[in-house]
Chain A
Amino acid sequence: MKKSLIIFSVIALFLLTAIILQSTRPYQPHPVAELKLKYSKKHVPSVDHSKLAALQVKFTTPEQVTEACNACHTERYKEVMRSSHWNWSREEYIPGRGIRTIGKKNVLNNFCIGTQGNQQSCAKCHVGFGMNNADFSFDNPSYVDCMACHDNSGKYKKAAERGGAPDPTVNLTEIAEHVGQPQRSNCGTCHFYGGGGNNVKHGDLEMSMFDPSKDVDVHMASEGVDLQCTACHVTRNHAMAGKVYSLSSMNRNRSTCEQCHTDRPHNSDVINQHTVKVACQTCHIPVYAKVNATKMSWDWSTAGRLRNGEPYDEDDADGNHAYMSIKGSFVWKKNVEPEYVWFNGTANHYLLGDKVDTNDVIRINSFNGSYDDRDSKIIPVKIHRARQIYDPVNKTLIQPLLFAAQKGEGAFWKDFDWNAAAAAGMKDVHLPYSGTYTFVNTEMYWPINHMVSKKEKTVACAECHRRENGRLAALQGFYMPGRNYNAGVEVAGKVLILLSILGVAGHAAVRVAAGRKRK
C-alpha cells in the first residue's frame, strides 16, 4: 500500500511536470511552412506588353516611352509623382522640431554629402529624366521614368551625369515591350550602389543580393523562397511600405518582420519574451556585408591630392578604393558585426543650416529610443563615420559643389579647391559661407534589415548574455541576465558563502582537536 503510494507520487510528479511544460509551449500563428507556400506562388502577368501595337514603334526619346505608358495607364504617373522616389522629399514630423519637408532634395549625408548643386550626377538614381539642376520641373509627367523600375529585360541602364536620362545605347523599344513588376534587379540598380559604388552606403544591400545564396539572405535566395523586394516592401498605387531612416523620421509605414512572422514566432517562450525589447534583426542578422565589403569610414579631408596635376585612385588589398583624389580616404570592411542602439521608430536629422558645436561627433541622423521607452527595441546598425567639411564661423556643415560639367565653376571634382567648392555649394542652397572651412567628425546611422541569416547562424545567447565583451556591451542602464549583477549582493553573497565555509571548517577543526584531547 505504502509502496504503491510512493510509486504513484513519482509517476504523478513526472506527469504533472510534463503537462505543465507542454502547456507553456505557444502555438505558432504563422508557421513558416504556410508563409513559404504563400510566397512560392509566382506572379503571372495578365498582359504581354510585346504584343501591344502602341509599343511596337521606334522610340527615340525616353519621354516618348513614358507617354506611351501613360496612354493606357492613364493615372499611374500621378501616383509616381506623389512618391518620394519622384519628389525626393516628403513631409515628416521630427520630434522636437515639428513638421519638415525632408528628403534627398535637402538632407545631408556623410558620403557624397548632398544632392543639391550636384543634381545632374545624383539624378542617375531619380525616377525621372531631365534633372540637370535645381530648376528641375517636378510636375512634368513626361519626365517620369517608368522603365527604371519596370524593365524586366535587365537591359535598361541610366547614363552617368545626364540628369537621369537612359544610357544612349539602350534600345527603348525593347525595354518598353518587356515591362512588368519590379524585380530585385530594378531596385538594386540604385539601392545597392548608393553613395557612388557597390555597398558604399547600406552594408546589407549590395550586388550579391541580385541573386543571393541562402547564407547571404534566407528570404531572397533564389534557391529558397526567392522573394523580390516588393514582397516585403508591399506597394499599393506606387506607395511603398518601408523607408530608410537616413531620410525619414516618423514611425509610420514601416515594413517589418512581424508583419509576416508575428512578434512571437519561436517555439521557446524565453526567446519570444525577447521580442518586447529586441528587434528580430538583432539576432537574425549576425553580420552584414557578407559578400562584398562596405564603406565604414570616409575621410574627405585628404581629398584633393594630385599626381602630376591629375587626380588618382588607390585600392586596398581587396580591390576597394582606399583613396580617391576626388573623395578622400576610405576604410572598407566585410562580414561586419553590427553595432546596436535603442530605436523607437523615430529619428532626428541634421538639417541644412543647423548650427552645431564640434565638441562632439556631429550626428547626421540619430535614432530616438531608450530602454525605458516601451516602444523602443534594440536594433542592429551600421554606423558610417566620416570627416567632412564644416564652416567653423557659421557652425554649419557645408554642402560643397562637387559635380560640374567643366572646370572653373567651383566644383571640387574638377577644380580640387575646397574654398571654391564650399562657396559655390552654399550659394546653391542659399546659406552663408564664412570663407573658412575645416573638417569635423560625423556619424550616420543605417539600420541593418537585410541579409537575414539561416536560423542555424542566429546570434547565440552567450554572445550577449556574458559578463564581458558581449555584443550589447555598449548598451547599459538595464539588467541583462548573465551580464549584469548587483555588485553589493554579489559581495554580500560571496562573503556569506565564505563565512559558511570558514565557520564549518573552524567548527570541524575544533571538534577534531577536542576529540583527540579526550582520547
Chain B
Amino acid sequence: MKKQLVYKRFNRFWHWTQAGLIFFLAMTGFEIHGALAFFGFENAVRYHSNAAVVFMVLIVFAIFWHFTTGEWKQYLPTMDNLREQIAYYLDGIFRNAPHPTRKTVLSKLNPLQRLVYLGLKILVIPVMVMSGLLYMYYRYPQKYGIESIKIFNLETVAVFHTIGAFVLVSFVIVHLYLITTGHTLTSNLKAMVTGYEELDEEKK
C-alpha cells in the first residue's frame, strides 16, 4: 500500500463546489416546483437562477480541465470487470472480498462508476443545463425579435428539468452511501478531502 495523490487540487475544488451547488439547486429547485417551502418562492427563483449560472461557469472550467489534463479518459466506458464489479456489490462486499477493480491514479473509476459518471456527464447534466437555459431565457429569442423560436409552453421544458432533478437526487443518495464502500468506511471521503489515498502498489 502506498499513499498517492489521487484527486488533484482542481479535481477536489470542482467536486465539492459541484456537490454544494447540486444540493443548493435541489433545495431551491424543489421549492420552485412547489414541493418544498424554505426560502420563499421569489427568493428560491433568484437563488436557483444565480446558482445555475455559477454551476455553468464551473462546468466550463471542468470541461477545460478534463481535456487539458486528459482526465476525460477516466470516463471511457469499459466492459472489462463490469460483471465482476456488479457481483462484488451484490455479494463480495458482504464477505469482505477484495475490490475486483484495482484503483490507480490513471484509472480511478471502476467500470460501474465509469458508466454512471459518463451518463451524468453526457446525458443528465446536459439535459439539466439545456432545459434550465430554456426555462430561464425562453423569452430571450423574442426579446431580440426572433419570433420563430419563441417557446409557448413551458411544460415540456419543465418536465425534462424535473425528471433530471429526480435522477440527480437519487444519484446523490446512492453516491453518498457508496462513499462508505472503500478500503475502510471513511477512506473514500478522506481521499476526496485531502486528495491522498492508500492504493495498492502497481505490479511491476
Contact = CB atoms under 8 A, between A and B. Distances in A.
Interface in B31-49: 32-34, 40-42, 45-46, 49
A13 B58 contact: yes
A504 B45 contact: no
**Chain B interface category by residue count:** 35 or more
A503 B61 CA distance: 34
B50 to A, nearest CB: 6
A13 B57 contact: yes
B173 A467 contact: no
Number of contact residues on A: which range applies?
35 or more
A9 B46 CA distance: 24
Contact of B42 (A20, A462, A479, A501): A462
A485 B33 contact: yes
Given A2-B9, A272-B139, A482-B34, A504 B42 contact: no
Interface in A470-493: 478-486, 489-490, 492-493
A231 interface: no
Contacts of B24: none
A9 B96 contact: no
B96 A518 contact: yes
A507 B177 contact: yes
Contact of B139 (A273, A466, A493): A273
A497 B166 contact: yes
Nearest to B43: A461
Nearest to B13: A6
Nearest to A2: B9
Given A276-B142, A481-B32, A481-B33, A493 B174 contact: no
Given A479-B154, A514-B94, A5 B10 contact: yes
Nearest to B163: A489
Contacts of B54: 13, 17
B95 interface: yes
Given A270-B49, A273-B139, A496 B167 contact: yes
B138 interface: yes
Contact of B174 (A372, A460, A467, A503): A503
B127 to A, nearest CB: 13
Interface string A74-116: 0000000000000000000000000000000000000000000
A28 B49 CA distance: 21
A493 B166 contact: yes
A12 B57 CA distance: 9
B42 A508 contact: no
Interface string B131-166: 000001111001100000000111100110011011
Nearest to A494: B166
Given A276-B142, A467-B34, A510-B94, A492 B174 contact: no
B170 interface: yes
Interface string A1-39: 011011001101100110011000000000000000000
Contact of A489 (B17, B57, B162): B162
Given A276-B142, A504-B173, A493 B13 contact: no
A21 B51 CA distance: 10
Contacts of B34: 465-467, 481-483, 485
A273 B61 CA distance: 30
B57 A16 contact: yes
A479 B10 contact: no
Contacts of B9: 2-3, 5-6
A511 interface: yes
A455 interface: no
B53 interface: yes
B57 A462 contact: no
Interface of B: 9-10, 13, 17, 32-34, 40-42, 45-46, 49-50, 53-54, 57-58, 60-61, 89, 93-96, 136-139, 142-143, 152-155, 158-159, 162-163, 165-167, 169-170, 173-174, 177, 180
19 contacts: A2-B9, A16-B57, A16-B60, A17-B54, A17-B57, A20-B53, A20-B57, A268-B46, A269-B137, A460-B41, A461-B41, A462-B40, A465-B34, A466-B34, A484-B155, A486-B155, A486-B159, A499-B170, A507-B89
Interface of A: 2-3, 5-6, 9-10, 12-13, 16-17, 20-21, 264, 268-270, 272-273, 276, 372, 374, 460-462, 465-467, 478-486, 489-490, 492-494, 496-497, 499-501, 503-504, 507-508, 510-511, 514-515, 518
